[in-house]
Amino acid sequence: MELIRGIHNIRTQHHGCVLTIGNFDGVHLGHQKVLRLVAEQARILGVPSMVMTFEPQPMELFTRHHAPARLTRLRDKFVQLSKLEIDRLLCVNFNDQFAQIEAEAFIHDLLVRRLGVKFLVIGDDFCFGKERRGDFAMLQRAGEKFGFDVVNTQSFCVDRLRVSSTAIREALANDDLSAAREMLGRHYSISGRVSHGRKLGRTIGFPTANIPLKRCVSPVSGVYVVQVSGLAATPIGGVANIGHRPTVNGVRQQLEVHLFGFHGDIYGKQLEVALLHKLRGEHKFDSFEALKQQIELDAEAARVWLLQCEG
């Protein structure tokens, strides 16, 4: 899948596509249904399929620190979309300047002139342009004028529950990883590149892969049983902490993973960490020694959980 970073990187070879637009936060089963429709229509028309998404997400620009927790960063989104039959991902910088573009200009300049959209799949509640003046009806009229079809997406349900990013956030907030998994169609996961940390875990026999979480609010925190992809042919089990690490005076949110039975070089590697089961919340311990003892208990509990699943 090709990643196009910004409107300024759209080239003449990108003209002509079947397009869908949205945040696609989580790339859940509802999104996947839409994306399969996009890929199928692209094959029928003989043009590439394209997803347009925004960084930051519009709510993050308009409401700043009050925006809902994000399920997927751009890297997570790219990983999940790459598993589907989508040819191109266009990431638009959603800033104050872009938010002021008139709806008509968005259609004519971007959708028609730059992208040459042949078929558009969009939610019937989609609004766009300055002051959200553009809507589904405007896109339908534009399609009739400029010669592209517009179809709306329909809600996707699991056990009569409408699948949505909001419902998945609520499930994660309630530690209901099972419900989140049903709506996502996979385990909830976080991906990122391993960076050098303070290496405190190594001093107590628990070296960790440290992945900074570059987001304002994480939908999950605490200690989890995990499986890690990106290092071997099959996922590697482990135990992970997601949070601020209060015992060692951490400031930024971070994902720290201790891998079971793996001793290779991990720095700079791109990993996908799937959360299988929550062991406990994040706590501040009175001493580093107390933290060490708890980590030993967490690691043992994670090993037992993984063995029971294998059995």
Contact 80, 118 (CB under 8 A): no
The helix/strand count (H/E) of the chain reads as 10, 14
The average pLDDT across 227-250 equals 84
In a shared domain, residues 25 and 72: yes
Contact by Cβ (8 Å): 116, 17: yes
Q: Using 50, 70 and 90 to split pLDDT, how confident is the model at 75?
A: confident
* Same domain flag for 301 and 206: yes
pTM for this structure? 0.87
Asked if pLDDT for residue 280 goes beyond 80, the answer is yes
Q: 130 and 31 in one domain?
A: yes
240 — pLDDT class (breaks 50, 70, 90) = very high
pLDDT higher than 80, residue 203: no
Q: Is the pLDDT of residue 222 over 60?
A: yes
pLDDT of residue 62: 87
**Structural domain count of the chain:** 2
Nearest to 177 by CA among 240, 228, 220, 239: 220
Quick one: pLDDT at residue 250?
54
Backbone dihedral angles phi then psi of residue 267, each to the nearest 5 degrees: -65, 130
User: Hey, what are 17's tokens?
Assistant: 């596509």
CA–CA dist 193, 240 (Å, integer): 15
Dihedral angle sign, alpha carbons of residues 166, 167, 172, 178 = negative
Give the percent of the chain with pLDDT over 70.
91
Same domain, 151 and 7: yes
**Co-location of 138 and 265 in the same domain:** no
Query: Are 92 and 215 in a shared domain?
Result: no
Domain closes at, from 156, 177, 208: 156
pLDDT at 22: 93
Residue 116 reports pLDDT greater than 60: yes
Residue 178, classed as helix, strand or coil, is helix
Show the domain range for 240.
187-310
- 20 with 144, same domain: the answer is yes
Is the residue at 161 inside a domain? no
Mean pLDDT over 207-229 rounds to: 87
What average pLDDT does the segment 107-134 reach? 94
| Residue 306 falls inside a structural domain | yes
Query: Do 115 and 209 fall within a single domain?
Result: no
In a domain, 300, yes or no: yes
**Residues 139 and 225 both lie in one domain:** no
Token duo for residue 273: 């960490």
Q: What pLDDT does 216 receive?
A: 58
Q: Which residue among 107, 140, 156 closes a domain?
A: 156
Q: What is the CATH number of the domain that holds 37?
A: 3.40.50.620
For 204-223, what is the mean pLDDT?
A: 81
Q: What does DSSP assign to residue 110?
A: I
Counted residue by residue, the chain has a size of 311
Extended strands (E) in the chain: 2-5, 17-21, 49-55, 88-93, 117-123, 149-153, 157-158, 161-162, 189-193, 209-212, 222-229, 236-243, 254-259, 270-280
One domain, residues 142 and 205: no
How much is the pLDDT for 197?
A: 67
Q: Which tens digits make up the pLDDT trace of 129-165? A: 999 999 999 999 999 999 999 998 875 556 666 889 9
pLDDT given for residue 60 in this prediction: 85
CB 77 within 8 A of CB 53: yes
Cβ contacts of 9 within 8 Å, gap of 6 or more = none
Which pLDDT belongs to residue 196? 79
